[in-house]
Structure 1
């Protein structure tokens, strides 16, 4: 072995390792770099190090920046400062490449000039030899096959854990303690209240705004956003279920597997949340749970209760009704608010206005009375979902088809024809069940409690405007405000509610 550093072969070192992110992003869990003593023993001197920690060498969509930079150095035969480079050294060649294409690029770069060396802890490999290069290619292919097997085993491991109701790994989800099993005494009630409020009509924007004002943070310590709240509400973990790749994990009986952790809400509440999300994709539902054309929901905060719901009933000179939505604004002297028709330049007639507080009070009472009437009827009408047996039968048919296909007991054409027929039918039945769950959740709400919270004096207990507007819009198409004439007092008979059909 040469006695001085000057006599040693200048090489670069490449490392690829996992990092322990739970402690420090730059702490290497497994030693995957060659130390100076090992390099000197092999007759090499390390002049530069390249590392791509936490980057897979097997995935095609992963860019290893240092690997690409190293290839440029090897092709050039020198570093950017002119230091010569005569080869590369790694702990093990499977830490360098796991794809045949990358192996060929590496060999082309390192053999771009004569006399280059490549070594791992076991010694040198002559990459100029066709036999060695072929063996390296075979090694890369075998390594890729092993990676695929590992991925398959990991997927099967995750699914096995899910099917046995075992908690998933990862960061602590909001609402649970660090063990991811026990409910957090502060966060769980917040999430439960958010789910109940969302089902009752409160907008996600309003919930996020409320949590931000109270200083509520995500489990990672970040500010809540609409996207993070939607992801939390959309997660079946809330009701004790698991989902893998968009599908609920079910047992042999076709029922969702219940996890070992404590649920925050009931399965019926989670399905009601799904119905609302589905409704926003164009499958809107009414208060009674029936699928109809799009029913407007508020996705922004309103300052006034009936903004956009009241319509001008003034008759124009041509005999037609104005029909323009009334806008809300503060009274000129700052005393409350009023609703008024827009100016003619904005599409209205500008000839009608109404006192805001009294209008809000009258319509609120009218809607609460209608909800009480519907609640009595709905409790007797809603009943259990009557298509569960039909759904169970179709799910069983699909499971049987998949079993027969896996055992090669059915032709490809017949299998896919049947699957394409069954999957849409099952999806429709599940959506119908979600709509039924939402209707059941809404009708089971105690209307007396809604009335109490409608007028509650405490901010924590009182329904906010977005919730009140959801109840109002579920009960009404609109309210026509007929002209009263100058100087006349507020007359509730001039407010004409246009009710939605029961």
Structure 2
């Protein structure tokens, strides 16, 4: 490139992964390498970009500083107007591990003639097709290595599961630090609770007893209904384990027995599994309506979406959550989760006012559709579901009485479980459609305002009319004057 010039403005880019951080090499070390390279080449660093602990290999990960750097390169200057004529990175694989990202970077850098690029080894001419091709090839190799490591990790995890070996993480409640030996007092509580569930005692009653006795989780916290249910439903109690949501089984379909001490028998856990499985997701009630065990406490939770744009121009799109705010009229706020929880934390609006506006918009839209909805006929799968459910119950009873072997029970039960799950999901969809159609064709506004619709039914009607509502940010949370123009409903056809 000829003799180094005394002042050539360039930017420095560093990325540090979790693995690198564990090795003790921080962002400061990477910037130091870049600074030494700049001095050696006679270039001047005018800005530093860093994406800390953000993988360059995953498609869904947004690296804000990388995206900002690409924009500045293409523009030829920083947001404050300071010119930029090149980039220094520690190494190509710290810059990009996806071919698309590398190509966008090269396009931005070479948008004008004379741009410079260097890593710790020295300067490189990205205007040369050979150099660009080698860089792209290096990105592909790097991506292949990442995938190899991910596959090895998954195989190792699966192999440990199939051998019944405990994996990393904190000790489970009921076992000691080695995850194999029982912790007597905790195990006794689990055994007692599990057998009471089988006997018909409610989870609420068991939870109240545990709280009164000050039984704590391994983190020292009071038990919640969800955490207690998950502890009771964990196949670890009988010596089994799940991997990716399925029981780990051998070639014959029989669950693999782990190396830890069990708390209850496999037959007892299967009874618990049958009880809890019947309660998962929406439930069809006797009157033909649908109840949802997981109905949120607020009308538009999960329906509202954050519309704040990010550095790349795309909106955040995270579901807004409700939070109690006594200082607001209505007492609650819909807000975007923090960055640590997967959102941007940049949008917050008065919950009661949004509920009121969207309710009126939805009711008006549904009233327009009256007469256009036809109630469907009776669901055709009722007979098959009833037959399979009775057959599965008899099979379980026969196995629990040792009338059939494991080798006969587990494969057949697994096949029936899969089909029953499909049928239940189909029935729920069918009945939900009927329920929605009935609500829409009647006096929906009268029933809504009279209090005859519960929260689950109201949410079902809203989802009948809307895909989502995008909430555009105004700043200041719920304290700014309410502006309905900043709510963008996405209507269903």
Cα pair distance change 1:162/1:423, threshold 3 Å: closer
How many residues of Structure 1 are paired with residues of Structure 2 in the alignment?
A: 313
State the secondary structure of the residue aligned to 1:34: helix
Tell me, yes or no, if the aligned pair for 2:50 and 2:65 is still in contact at 8 Å: yes
Aligned to 1:498: none
SS at match of 1:227: helix
Instruction: Supply the distance in 2 between the matched residues of 1:183 and 1:249 (Cα, whole angstroms).
Output: 22
Whether the 8 Å CA contact 1:205–1:226 is kept in 2: the answer is: yes
Q: CA 1:425–1:13 in 2, change beyond 3 Å: closer, same or farther?
A: same
Q: TM-score, normalised by structure 2?
A: 0.53
- Say if 2:12 and 2:88, in contact at 8 Å, map to a contact too: yes
Aligned residue for 2:107?
108
Report the alpha carbon displacement of residue 185 of structure 1 after superposing the two structures with TM: 4.4
In the TM superposition, 1:33-48 aligns within 5 A as 33-35=30-32, 36-48=35-47
Listed as ranges, the gaps of 5+ residues in structure 2 are 295-396, 422-493
In the aligned structure 1, how far is the partner of 2:194 from the partner of 2:201? 9
Equivalent pair of 1:86/1:117 in contact (CA under 8 Å)? yes
* 2:228 corresponds to: 229
Any conservation in 2 of the 1:250–1:256 contact (CA below 8 Å)? yes
Verify: 1:383 aligned to 2:401, yes or no.
Answer: yes
2:148 is the alignment partner of 1:135: no
CA distance in 2, matches of 1:382, 1:99: 53
Distance 1:182 1:386, change over 3 A: closer
- Aligned equivalents of 1:270 and 1:381: distance in 2? 13
Between 206-215 and 267-276, report the one with greater CA deviation.
206-215
Distance in 2, matches of 1:107 and 1:214, equals 64
Question: How far, CA to CA, are the matches of 1:156 and 1:132 in structure 2?
Answer: 36
Counterpart CA distance in 2 for 1:87 and 1:148 is 31
Residue 274 of structure 1: how far off its partner (Å): 0.6
* Aligned-partner SS, 1:139: helix
Distance in 2 separating the partners of 1:232 and 1:76: 55
* Cα deviation, residue 268, structure 1: 2.1
Task: Give the alignment of 1:125-164 within 5 angstroms.
Answer: 125-164=124-163
Secondary structure of 2:49's partner? strand
Q: Which residue of 1 aligns with 2:88?
A: 89
Deviations 1:384-409 (A, max 9, x none): 243645346x57xxxxxxxxxxxxxx
The answer for unaligned runs of 5 or more in structure 1 is 21-25, 285-291, 301-378, 396-421, 431-502
Alignment pair present for 1:280 and 2:279: yes
Match of 2:7 in 1: 7
- Contact preservation (8 Å) 1:14, 1:88: no
Map of 2:310 onto structure 1: none
Question: What SS does structure 2 have at the residue aligned with 1:14?
Answer: strand
1:480-499 equivalences under 5 Å are none
User: What do residues 280-331 of structure 1 show as CA deviations (whole Å, max 9, x unaligned)?
Assistant: 24999xxxxxxx999xx9x89xxxxxxxxxxxxxxxxxxxxxxxxxxxxxxx
C-alpha change, 1:81 and 1:144, in structure 2 (3 Å) is same
Measured after TM superposition, the shift of residue 120 of structure 1 is: 1.9
State the match for 2:461 in structure 1: none
The match for 2:240 is: 241
Would the aligned equivalents of 2:254 and 2:407 in 1 still touch at CA under 8 Å?
no
Tell me, yes or no, if the aligned pair for 2:254 and 2:406 is still in contact at 8 Å.
no
Q: CA deviation at 1:199?
A: 2.2
Per-residue deviation, 1:158:
0.9
Query: Residue 218 and residue 124 in structure 1: after superposition, are their counterparts in 2 closer, same or farther (change >3 A)?
Result: farther
**What is aligned with 2:48?**
49
CA–CA distance in 2 between the matches of 1:380 and 1:246? 26
Alpha-carbon shift at residue 258 of structure 1 (Å): 2.1
Tell me how large the CA RMSD over aligned residues is.
4.4
Any idea what the Cα deviations from partners look like across 1:448-469, whole Å, max 9, x if unmatched?
xxxxxxxxxxxxxxxxxxxxxx
CA distance in 2, matches of 1:71, 1:27: 28
**3-state DSSP class of the match of 1:7?**
coil
Q: 1:424 aligned to 2:415?
A: yes
